[in-house]
Amino acid sequence: MISGVGAGFISAFWSNGPVRVALAVGGGAAVVCAVVGLSTVMRRQSFAGHALADISGAGGSAAYLLGINPLLGFIGLAGLAAGVMEMAQVQEARERDLVTGVVLGAGLGLAALLLYLDVTLRSVSNAAISILFGSMFSIAPSIVPTVLTIAVIALAASVLVFRPLLVSSLSVDMARAQGVNVRTASLVHALALALAVALAAITVGAILATALLIGPAAAALQVARKPVSALVLAVAIGLGATWGGIVLAYDSFYWTLGHGWPVSFFIVMLIGGAYVLTSVLAHRDVGALTASPLSGCQER
Amino acid sequence: MFAPFMLHAWIVATLVAISAGSVGFFVVARRASFAAHALPLGAFPGAAAASLLGVNELWGLAGFAVLGVLAIDQLQRAGRREVASALWLTGALALGMLLLSLSGRYAESVYGLLFGNLLGIDAAELALVGGCSVVMLVLLAVIARPLLLDSLSRELAAAAGARPSALELLFLGVLGIAAAIAVPVVGALLVFSLMVGPGSAARAFTNHPWSALALTVGISLLTIWSAIALAYVSNWPVGFFVGVAGILCYVVGRWRGGAAALAHSL
Give the pLDDT mean for B188-196: 84
Confidence of residue A293 (pLDDT cuts 50, 70, 90): very low
pLDDT tens for A64-105 read: 888 888 899 999 999 998 888 777 666 666 677 788 888 888
CA distance A278 to chain B (A): 12
Q: Do A106 and B243 touch (CB under 8 A)?
A: yes
Percent of chain B with pLDDT over 70: 90
CA distance A60 to chain B (A): 15
pLDDT tens for A267-284 read: 999 999 999 898 888 877
Give the pLDDT mean for B229-254: 87
Confidence of residue B19 (pLDDT cuts 50, 70, 90): very high
pLDDT tens for A37-51 read: 988 888 888 888 889
CA distance A96 to chain B (A): 9
Better-scored residue on pLDDT, B141 or B253: B141
Domains (range + CATH), chain B: 4-187 (1.10.3470.10)
* C-alpha torsion angle, residues A172, A175, A181, A187 (rounded to 10): -60
Domains (range + CATH), chain A: 7-298 (1.10.3470.10)
Question: pLDDT at position A200, please?
Answer: 93
Determine contact: B187 vs chain A, CB below 8 A: yes
- In this model, does residue A298 exceed pLDDT 50? no
Least confident of A148-162, B115-129, B217-231: B115-129
Q: Do A112 and B86 touch (CB under 8 A)?
A: no
Question: pLDDT at position B195, please?
Answer: 87
Give the pLDDT mean for B92-116: 77
Question: pLDDT at position A238, please?
Answer: 95
Which residue in chain B has the smallest CA separation from A208? B90
